[in-house]
């Protein structure tokens, strides 16, 4: 669950702001995106208390206000690929372990090209539990071989005592970097 939540946050962070630098110092060869937002979901949803369930994280969102690299915006998606071995609940989300949630992160740019990070980690902060950092390496498509880092802030959606998922935006003042 925490891994799933962390992954979601990572995806949200990446979606929020992406800063990419080009090889060999070429000016404006990669984009910088100043806005990101999206939604995330747990499947199955998380129960209120312990012992919890084995759940997977997924998210969908956008990046916008991009310049450089021949792109201006993109659609993002994250799907947890490394199955959680720890049961999660709404209660456990409030006590993050610092272990990452790992999955595949894809950006489909406005020019129709994609960037895929097949091992993308989302790690929920143990200090500010509504924040998560994201890290990964682009393994296919546009900007292959570049690393991705970022941070997201999320808002949890609950109903009937269950944690369904929520929304995310890039963490204030943090840019997501592809370099």
Residue whose C-alpha is closest to residue 93's, from 42, 58, 135: 42
User: What pLDDT, on the 0 to 100 scale, is given for residue 13?
Assistant: 38
What total number of domains does the chain contain?
Answer: 1
- The helix (H) or strand (E) run that includes residue 4 is helix 2-16
Residue whose C-alpha is closest to residue 17's, from 59, 76, 58: 76
Show the tokens assigned to 75. 């659609």
Residues of the chain with pLDDT > 90: what percent? 55
Compute the average pLDDT of residues 30-47: 90
Global pTM reads: 0.82
Average pLDDT, the chain: 83
DSSP per position, 31-57: -EEEEEEEEEEEEEEEPSSTT-B--EE
Residue whose C-alpha is closest to residue 38's, from 14, 71, 19, 3: 14
* Domain span including residue 170: 2-178
């Amino acid at each position: 669950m925490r891994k799933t939540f962390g992954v979601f946050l990572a995806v949200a962070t990446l979606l929020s702001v992406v800063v990419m630098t080009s090889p060999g110092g070429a000016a404006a060869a990669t984009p910088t995106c100043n806005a990101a937002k999206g939604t995330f979901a747990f499947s199955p949803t998380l129960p209120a208390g312990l012992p919890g369930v084995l759940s997977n994280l997924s998210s969908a969102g956008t990046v916008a206000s991009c310049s450089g690299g021949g792109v201006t915006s993109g659609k993002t998606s994250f799907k947890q690929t490394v199955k959680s071995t720890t049961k999660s609940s709404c209660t456990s989300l409030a006590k993050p372990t610092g272990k990452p949630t790992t999955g595949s992160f894809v950006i489909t740019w406005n020019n129709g090209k994609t960037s895929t990070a097949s091992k993308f980690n989302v790690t929920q902060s143990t200090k500010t539990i509504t924040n998560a950092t994201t890290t990964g390496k682009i393994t296919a498509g546009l900007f292959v071989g570049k690393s991705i880092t970022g941070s997201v802030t999320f808002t949890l959606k609950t109903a009937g005592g269950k944690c369904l998922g929520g929304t995310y935006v890039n963490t204030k003042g943090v840019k997501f970097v592809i370099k």
